Amino acid sequence: MLVSFIISSQAREEKLFKTINTLKKQTNDSYELIIIVDEPNIEKEAMDFVRDQFIENDKIMLIFNSKGQGESLNWNNGIELARGEYVSFLKEGDLINENYVQKVQDIIESSENKIDLIEVQYEQSNLFEGETQPLLETDRLYDLQENKEVFAYITQEIYGKLFRSKFIKDFRITFKKNVRFDMLFLFMSLAHSRNFYLSGDVLFKHKVSVPKYSIFDIVNQWPHVLNYYRRIGTYKEFKDQLNYAANYCMAYNFLDLSKRIKNPVINKKAILFVNTKLDRKVKEFTTQNAIFLENANPDFTIRMENFNGFINEQLKKIG
């Protein structure tokens, strides 16, 4: 079996049906769908619906939690149960292109070596619109000993990634309990990967919603990421790449997300948080970080080179 898709589910019937229905149309049926229902107070109608999907489709593995455990533990349980060569995480409601599994098969067969980490693109809706736009060259296999820029430019999302199952289990890479540590999982995986394939194919549709957790959990993962690389002895080797990724997350992705949520209180708090974290570091970063000087994203470059002006402008807009 090639791919194990994992969903941490709240048993939302309409959304689950859409995802399951698109998976049924795969041109390559070398996949399974692991659904972990994390809603102990599920209504009978929703329970019956989910069970019917399991009964009618031998591609589905179904687990009901007796109490809510959260996405992190559900994803860990899904990894343990996965029989596919790769694991990939979905949200209820994701619409999967019928050629998804076949495209992954084609990518794997194009390489003489096992590929540890694969990224595909997706079409966003809701908070963000349009196709994901990676900073790296697409349709390429990267050797992570030589192509260290991947650590700086990789898209910092768990969705759209396929992790080789044996590799993840051999290195005992898991999600941390109770808190939002999906980015840490990604960078832990990247730290031990030999290679990374970046596909330019848009293979599913994904709704980007307002996070249920504090959006500050996103940036608060970065001290853990950096400390992990220090602990395994590779921080110095990837210092510029990791610091670029951390600052890009904070001053670009995080601030853009906080603005799109359209909550002025959260947006202002996010701007002040980033200012506190980066104000004293900006000059050194913009003049000495080799990755930043490559100017991969001109918008980010302008924002950082005029950091104080940017912060003040954003605060004035909020009032």
Cβ-proximal residues to 311 (8 Å cutoff; 6+ apart), any chain:
271, 274, 275
Residues 197 and 63 in one domain: yes
Residue recorded with tokens 């990967």: 193
227 part of a folded domain: no
The reply to whether 60 and 155 lie within a common domain is yes
Is residue 277 assigned to a domain?
Answer: yes
Pick from 184, 159, 176: nearest CA to 72? 176
Task: Specify whether 312 is located in the same domain as 166.
Answer: no
How confident is the model at residue 256, as a pLDDT? 95
Same domain? 201 vs 282:
no
Q: What is the mean pLDDT of the chain?
A: 92
Q: Percentage of residues in the chain with pLDDT exceeding 90?
A: 77
Which helix (H) or strand (E) covers residue 247, if one does? helix 239-248
The pLDDT value given to residue 319: 77
pLDDT of residue 71: 82
What would the mean pLDDT of 212-229 be, rounded to a whole number? 92
Contact criterion met (CB below 8 Å) for 216 and 247: no
Partners of 118 in the beta sheet? 162, 197
For residue 52, pLDDT beyond 90: no
290 and 247 in one domain? yes
Overall size of the chain counted in residues: 319
Mean pLDDT of 171-187: 86
Q: Which tokens is 257 given?
A: 């997300």
The per-residue pLDDT for 68 is 66
Q: How far apart are CA 223 and CA 169, in angstroms?
A: 24
pLDDT at 22: 93
What single string gives the DSSP state of each residue in 179-244? S--HHHHHHHHHHH-SEEEEEEEEEEEEEEPPPSS-THHHHTTHHHHHHHHHHTT-TTTTHHHHHH
Question: Do 47 and 193 share a structural domain?
Answer: yes
Mean pLDDT of 204-229: 91
Residue 219 resides in a domain:
no
Q: Do 75 and 191 share a domain, yes or no? A: yes
pTM confidence score: 0.94
Among 269, 251, 235, which residue's Cα sits nearest to residue 305? 251
Assess whether pLDDT exceeds 80 at residue 55.
no
Pairing of β 95-96 and β 31-37: unpaired
Q: Which residue has the higher pLDDT, 37 or 97?
A: 97
pLDDT at 45: 66
pLDDT greater than 80 at residue 250? yes
pLDDT tens string 256-306 = 999 999 899 999 999 999 999 999 999 999 999 999 999 999 999 999 999
Those residues whose C-beta lies under 8 Å from the C-beta of residue 229, and which sit 6 or more positions away, are: 187, 191, 235, 238, 242
pLDDT in tens, 97-155: 999 999 999 999 999 999 999 999 999 999 899 999 999 999 999 999 999 999 999 99
Same-domain check for residues 204 and 57: yes
- The label of the residue with tokens 């069970």 reads 51
Give yes or no: residues 32 and 144 share one domain.
Answer: yes
Q: Which amino acid is at 84?
A: G
DSSP string, 35-75: EEE--TT--HHHHHHHHHHHHH-TTEEEEE-SS---HHHHH
Ordered alpha helix ranges (H), 82-117:
100-109
Average pLDDT in the 88-96 region?
A: 95
Q: Does 229 map to a domain?
A: no
State the average pLDDT over residues 55-75. Answer: 79
The torsion region of residue 69 among left (phi > 0), alpha (psi -120 to 50) and beta comes to: alpha
Residue % of the chain over a pLDDT of 70: 92
Kindly give the interhelix angle for 307-318 and 264-278, rounded to the nearest 10 degrees: 160
CATH code for position 137: 3.90.550.10
Give the total number of structural domains in the chain: 2
The answer to whether residue 51 scores a pLDDT higher than 80 is no
pLDDT of the residue at 179: 59
Range of the domain at 313: 239-318
pLDDT for 213: 77
